[in-house]
Amino acid sequence: MSESVLSQFDNDVLHCLELSSAIELTLPAAKQASLNLSPGGLGLRSLHGQAPAAYISSLTTSMPSDNCSVTSKVYLLAAVNAYNAMVSQPDAISVESVLDVPPHQHALSSHIKEADFNPLFFRCNYRGKGQIASYLSTSSPYMA
């Protein structure tokens, strides 16, 4: 799927939320809506935001690296670059590393969520920061 189609779908979902709730969503409110219910969100995941993690995990776990075609490697490189643009530097990956040890989508998605929600910390009180931190933690029951 193309990036514009995924973004358009995400925008359509948020627009439906705005119409059904009669509110205009700010960017922080839209990000909060993508959190699970327990930390105060609505569970509306971004297809655009999760697509690179899903593609990387799917391709690398279903096709051994020695059978990975040139075309697949080009798409994989694009997905890795998109993923790296979303996460912090310590969580960046390389094509070689994912071909050697295929990552789980859950782990990749966790890094995307962490990078996406870090700006919310600056506007939270201590209780809110604790709730978001527990949500982002890999040991959190919300990550299941």
What pLDDT score does 123 carry?
58
pLDDT by position in tens, the chain (length 144): 567 888 899 999 999 999 998 888 888 888 888 877 777 788 888 888 889 999 999 988 887 666 667 778 888 999 999 999 988 888 999 998 998 888 998 889 888 887 776 665 555 666 665 665 555 554 444 444
Backbone angles phi, psi at 74, to 5 degrees: -65, -45
CA distance 84 to 94: 9
143 DSSP 8-state letter: G
Strand, helix or coil for residue 31: helix
What pLDDT score does 81 carry?
94
What pLDDT score does 50 carry?
87
pTM, full prediction: 0.67
DSSP 76-121: HHHHHHHHHHHS-GGG---HHHHHHSPPPHHHHHHHHHHHHHHHHH
* Percentages (nearest 5) of helix, strand, coil residues in the chain: 70, 0, 30
What pLDDT score does 120 carry?
58
What pLDDT score does 140 carry?
43
What pLDDT score does 61 carry?
86
Structure tokens at 12: 């359509």
